[in-house]
């Protein structure tokens, strides 16, 4: 695919995600996209054979106030690395008759904690959170990876809110002035754990996966109103994780070299920030961006984050799990 086709649209420079990942694709050695298959999927989407995703409120806390904003800040602070380490059982919870794991399990566990009167939405509590506190909050069975890092992140979240925003999440959102892109930048600047970048061939690559998800989650939870009203959701890109590449690979859009494919299929760990891992994430972002452009050209306007939601939902189906996802132990996704 020519590099000219991978041109960032006007206005996208606000986050730097498309620009920096474009450079990765131009130099990529282990990952590539099949544009023919990508175009076929985009045309299928434009014909309406794939359903447009909506917001599922069942597992999320929502009261329409800044408490909801803080809930999503806490949720997306911990929104990473849900796959089980070798030799351990997957972490999961029982919630209203369902067995949940991953993002929905985390969302429901935190919602239950709030509804039970636990102080998980109090910055002072977060700032002093212990490992035992966190394990008690989440509950469930099995092992959730990176628990020490998760506790440290929540303490950081509480401390930053107290020291920089007087414990008020509204003071974090207000300077964004209704801009999702501005909110992503503000969150990444304020909270070190949200600064999702890497270095590839000596150049900084920006992903901002969890910060972008926070903006999209607020939009979804508030129905595009109040604290979820953003005028520039088109600035958001895909949220580069491990589930979307699995789906895109199943669809034949994302392809790996033989060496990388064998590593992933053997469940070998990829080092965070390694060239292979950065290439997978960069191609994920651009696969979604190109699907967005082609569906728009075919007459359907759908944003990159909505395509992300659609693909992520597909990834919850067994049919899209025939080949494993890549495994990287990281706090970023």
pLDDT per position in the chain (333 positions), as tens?
A: 334 456 655 444 369 999 999 999 999 999 999 999 999 988 887 887 666 788 999 999 999 999 999 999 999 999 999 999 999 999 999 999 999 999 999 999 999 999 999 999 999 999 999 999 999 999 999 999 999 999 999 999 999 999 999 999 999 999 999 999 999 999 999 999 999 999 999 999 999 999 999 999 999 999 999 999 999 999 999 999 999 999 999 999 999 999 999 999 999 999 999 999 999 999 999 999 999 999 999 888 899 999 999 999 999 999 999 999 999 999 999
pLDDT for the residue numbered 4: 45
**Count of C-beta atoms within a 10 Å radius of residue 69:** 23
DSSP letter, residue 301? -
Per the residue annotation, which of 76, 217, 241, 308 is the catalytic one? Answer: 241
Q: Would you call 181 helix, strand, or coil by DSSP?
A: helix
Residue in the structure block whose two tokens are 């469930």: 140
Number of structural domains found in the chain = 1
In this structure, is residue 330 part of a structural domain? no
Q: What is the DSSP string of 209-247?
A: HHHHHHHHHHHHHTTTSGGG--S-GGG------SHHHHH
In this structure, is residue 328 part of a structural domain? no
Phi, psi of 254, deg, nearest 5: -100, 130
pLDDT for the residue numbered 12: 40
In this structure, is residue 333 part of a structural domain? no
In this structure, is residue 326 part of a structural domain? no
pLDDT for the residue numbered 51: 66
In this structure, is residue 327 part of a structural domain? no
Q: Is 241 a catalytic residue?
A: yes
List, in order, residues 6 or more apart from 239 with CB less than 8 Å away: 209, 210, 212, 213, 216, 305, 308, 333
Residue in the structure block whose two tokens are 């959102």: 173
The tokens describing 120, both together, are 């998980």
Residues 157 and 177: their CA atoms lie apart, in Å, by 22
Q: Is 54 exposed, middle or buried (0-12, 13-18, 19+ CB in 10 A)?
A: exposed
DSSP letter, residue 47? T
Question: pTM value?
Answer: 0.93
Give the domain extent around 148.
3-321
pLDDT for the residue numbered 53: 80
In this structure, is residue 146 part of a structural domain? yes
């Amino acid at each position: 695919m020519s590099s000219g086709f991978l041109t960032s649209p006007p206005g996208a420079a606000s986050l730097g995600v498309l620009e920096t990942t474009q450079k990765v694709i131009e130099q990529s050695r282990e990952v590539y996209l099949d544009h023919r298959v990508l175009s076929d999927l985009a045309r299928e989407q434009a014909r309406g054979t794939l359903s447009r995703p909506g917001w599922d409120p069942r597992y999320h806390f929502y009261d329409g106030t800044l408490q909801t904003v803080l809930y999503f800040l806490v949720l997306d602070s911990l929104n990473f690395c849900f796959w089980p380490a070798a030799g351990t059982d997957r972490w999961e919870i029982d919630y209203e008759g369902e067995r949940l794991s991953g993002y929905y399990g985390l969302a429901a566990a935190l919602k239950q904690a709030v509804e039970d009167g636990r102080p998980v939405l109090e910055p002072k509590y977060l700032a002093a959170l212990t490992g035992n506190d966190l394990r008690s909050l989440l509950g469930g069975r099995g092992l959730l990876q990176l628990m020490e890092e998760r506790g440290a992140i929540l303490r950081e979240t509480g401390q930053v809110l107290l020291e920089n925003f007087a414990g008020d999440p509204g003071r974090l959102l207000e300077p964004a002035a209704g801009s999702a892109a501005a909110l992503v930048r503000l969150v990444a600047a304020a909270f070190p754990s949200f600064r999702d970048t890497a270095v590839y061939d000596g150049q900084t690559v920006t992903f901002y996966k969890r910060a972008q998800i926070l903006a999209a989650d607020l939009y979804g939870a508030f129905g595009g109103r109040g604290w979820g009203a953003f005028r520039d959701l088109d600035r958001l890109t895909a949220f580069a994780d491990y589930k979307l590449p699995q789906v895109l690979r199943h669809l034949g859009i994302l392809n790996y070299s033989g060496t990388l494919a064998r590593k992933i299929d053997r469940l070998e760990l990829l080092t965070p920030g390694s060239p292979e891992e950065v290439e997978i994430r960069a191609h994920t972002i651009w696969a979604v961006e190109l699907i967005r452009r082609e569906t728009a050209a075919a007459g359907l306007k759908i944003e990159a984050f909505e395509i992300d939601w659609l693909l992520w939902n597909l990834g919850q189906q067994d049919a899209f799990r025939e080949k494993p996802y890549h495994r990287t132990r990281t706090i970023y996704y």
